[in-house]
Amino acid sequence: MKVVQDIGQVRHIEAVQNGFSVAVELTGLSDSDIDELICAANLASVKANAKSRHARATDNVEQQVRQAASL
């Protein structure tokens, strides 16, 4: 794991469905630091999407069970 460190300025904060969207400008990063952050953000996105798909699939199964039970 690599530590990436810089000083940033908050450019945007907005409430979204499940929390907040925050944009921070980081100006002193090297290319390798930026690559590291991109990789970490992509991995977090993949994990979040997988968790979301799993939750929706579970909800669909529960709905199907309820519908079958009401027949």
Smallest CA-to-CA distance from 29 within 4, 57, 59 is with 4
Place of tokens 């039970």: 69
**Can you give the pLDDT at residue 59?**
63
Residue 18 in domain: no
Q: What local confidence, expressed as pLDDT, does residue 23 receive?
A: 94
Tens place of pLDDT for every residue, the chain, 71 residues? 678 889 999 999 999 998 999 999 988 999 999 898 888 888 888 888 787 676 666 666 566 556 666 65
Residue 22, pLDDT score = 93
Residue range(s) defining the domain that contains residue 44: 29-71
Q: Is residue 24 part of a domain?
A: no
69 located within any domain: yes
Residue 54 lies in a domain: yes
Structure confidence at residue 20 (pLDDT): 92
In-domain check, residue 4: no
> Cα separation of 12 and 25, whole Å?
9
pLDDT given at position 16? 92
What's the total number of domains in the chain?
A: 1
